Structure formats: C-alpha cells, structure tokens
Amino acid sequence: MTHSDNLELKKWLTDHIDWNTASRPLLLKNFFPYNFDNYLAILWTPGIIDNFPFTEIIFPPDTIEQTNKNIEIWRTFNVLDDIKDDIYTRTTFKEISKKFKIHYDRNIIYKFDYSSRGLTTLFPSTKITLERIIKSLSNDTLNLFVEDYWRWTIVNFLLPVAKDVTYNVTDEEFLKFMDDTFYDASAYFFPDDKSWCLINLEDLNFSILAFDNKHLVTVNNLNIVDSFNISPEDKLFD
C-alpha cells in the first residue's frame, strides 16, 4: 500500500463529502459523489444459531432471575464467551425475514437485537462476497481513500502515513484493511476511471456499491444476495 500523488483522486471524493456540515438526517449524497447511474446497498452476511430461543433472552436483564436465565441459555448454545463463527449457520436476511415475519428491506438489519447472541455477522463470508464483486469489476489501478484516516493511523497504525491521502492498493490489501478495521472505517475503494466505487461507512453496517451503467450487466450477473437499490436521496443516518 503506497500513497498516491494524484490529488484529483482525493478531490473527486472530498468535494462531495459534507456530512459534517449537512443538516439531519444524513443522506447518501452527503457522503459520496452522486453522479453514478446505480447505487446498491449490500447487507453483510448474517449467521443464525438454529433453534435458538430468541424470545427468552432479555438484555439488559431486568431481574437476577433473567440474568441467570440468559447465562444458562448462552452456556447451552456455546455463546457465553469466546464465541466462534462456526457456531452459526450461514443464512440470508431474506430467510431471516421469513422466519421472524419481518418486512424484507435494507433496514432489516436494524430490527434485531444482536445482544441476544443468536444472530451475528459472518465477516469471512461477507469478505467473499466483496471479493467476488471487486474481481468482477477490477481491470484498472485501484485506489483507497480513508476519510477517518486518523482513527487508523494515530490510534491503530494501520495506514502508512497520518495524512489525508489516497493509496494505490490491491484488492487483497483493501480486504485486509477491512478486516483489520472491523468493517468500521469510512473507506472508499475505486479504480482510476472512477466508474465504480465500493464504500464502507463507520456505523452503517452494510456496504454500498456505486457504479456506472457499463457495469450493470456484470453486477446483475453476480446475483448478490441481500442487495437493494438505493438513491443519493436515501437516508443513511438520523
């Protein structure tokens, strides 16, 4: 990962990022250039524990008895501590919506209490999905811009320089950065021709793929599960 001297790559993004001065609620257009033909919200891969008694968990507990009941359930399902991904069955939010009879849209991720420990995000599976997307679109030099760079340089030392710059990166370097930042960095990954961009935003909990029409057939052929069309005017944060 090396930083780029091409200032236009950064300016293309920073000229359109105005979330810190915009009025609430914050929309997609406050975080990103809105001159793409298509925008896709891609939910991260969920995992579920089969036969987990979701309705019996109350967290935070309101009584000592409930505290003990939570612990007993978590111990039974091996999620009391040192929780492993292999405890969970890979699924989709479409299947979860059917199971819990919840409307299926991109906001479904906010309708569950993950503190029950019966649901989780399977980041290794999510990584595979993002890797498929990148490899299907990538035919150019790739660039990474990290808007909240200071979090990952001054504090965690994950970027080469503590500066507001873009980096030339491989897809493997980008995916490793996502892993190392726990999918919580505000990061933009795009080619030199800026015909697509994969976006991750702090606290958003899903990815966004913006792309021009020339990539439409390619993206459609990927059949990305749990993906939803969105627009620059759609709300991301209250």
With cut-offs at 50, 70 and 90, classify the pLDDT of residue 186: very high
Half-sphere exposure for 1 (CA within 13 Å, toward CB):
19
DSSP letter assigned to residue 46? E
With cut-offs at 50, 70 and 90, classify the pLDDT of residue 96: very high
- Percent of the chain past pLDDT 90, that is, above it, reads 77
The whole-angstrom separation of Cα 119 and Cα 85 is 10
User: Mean pLDDT across the stretch 42-51?
Assistant: 97
Q: How far is CA 160 from CA 3, 11, 61, 72, 110, in A?
A: 8, 20, 44, 46, 34
Between 14 and 140, whose confidence is greater? Answer: 14
Confidence check: pLDDT of 26 > 80: yes
Using an 8 Å Cβ cutoff, are 132 and 222 in contact?
yes
Q: How far is CA 169 from CA 95, 145, 200, 214, 234, in A?
A: 35, 10, 16, 23, 30
User: Mean pLDDT across the stretch 211-217?
Assistant: 96
Half-sphere exposure for 172 (CA within 13 Å, toward CB):
0
Confidence check: pLDDT of 57 > 90: yes
Confidence check: pLDDT of 51 > 90: yes
User: Mean pLDDT across the stretch 181-186?
Assistant: 94
* Of 13-17, 49-53, 119-123, 227-231, the least confident: 13-17
pTM of the predicted structure, to 2 decimals: 0.93
Return the H-helix or E-strand segment holding 167.
Answer: strand 166-169
Using an 8 Å Cβ cutoff, are 10 and 166 in contact?
yes
Confidence check: pLDDT of 181 > 90: yes
Q: What are the beta bridge partners of residue 41?
A: 208, 228
Q: What are the beta bridge partners of residue 48?
A: 89, 119
The whole-angstrom separation of Cα 159 and Cα 157 is 6
Query: What is Dmax (Cα atoms) for the chain?
Result: 61
Helix, strand or coil, per DSSP, at residue 71: helix
**pLDDT, the chain, mean:** 92
